[in-house]
Amino acid sequence: MTADGALDLPALRVQVDAARAAEFARETGFDAGFDGAPSSYPALWLTAPAIHDAIAQICAQADSVPVHESQHFTYQAPLRVGVDYDLSVSMRREDKPPRLVVEAALATLDGAPVGRFEALLRLVPRAALRRDQGL
């Protein structure tokens, strides 16, 4: 992370996996016959080790616990099952209140934009949790 609190991760090659999409659809209330890509499926990519570990490291440095505050998915083109995409992820810190903003851009392999996603994580200081717990 740079001095101004920003971090760009190397682009990830991602794909909507048909089996995982079907499981995700089942767990989020889609009809049994749905065989597409749920619009919120990219949330699964944000738990990929490269992204998860970067978030964990930032939280550790801030001695904070991340609390998911908001999530947005915006599409310029439909998300397809079984198609390779490039996912570019950047993160930046906000101080008031303390937050980590995770932004991702999805594009086809020839660079055509497909979607943009944003997760807002409130960084709750562990000290505040310990205080709330009377520890």
Partner 1 sequence: MSAGAALAPPAVGERLPAVEIGPFDAEALRRYAQVSGDDNPLHLDDALAASIGFAAPPVHGVKLLAAFEPMLRAWRGDLELTRLGGTFVQPVLRGEKVTLTGRVLRSSQQSVFVRLYAHSSSRAPAVVAEATLRPSKREV
**Which residues of this chain interact with partner 1, rule CB under 8 A?**
20, 23-25, 27-31, 34, 38-40, 43-44, 47-48, 52, 68-76, 78, 118, 129, 132-133
Between CA 7 and CA 74 the distance in angstroms is 21
Give min distance, CB of 19 to partner 1, in A: 10
Which string of DSSP letters, residue by residue, matches 16-59? B-HHHHHHHHHHTT--TT--S--TTTHHHHTTSHHHHHHHHHHH
Between CA 101 and CA 41 the distance in angstroms is 19
Q: E strands along 60-126, which residues?
A: 64-75, 84-94, 99-108, 113-125
Give min distance, CB of 86 to partner 1, in A: 19
Based on CB atoms, which residue is closest to partner 1, 2 or 133?
Answer: 133
Give min distance, CB of 43 to partner 1, in A: 5
Between CA 26 and CA 120 the distance in angstroms is 25
Based on CB atoms, which residue is closest to partner 1, 85 or 115?
Answer: 115
Give min distance, CB of 111 to partner 1, in A: 20
What DSSP element (H or E) covers 77? none
Based on CB atoms, which residue is closest to partner 1, 55 or 91?
Answer: 55
Based on CB atoms, which residue is closest to partner 1, 38 or 107?
Answer: 38
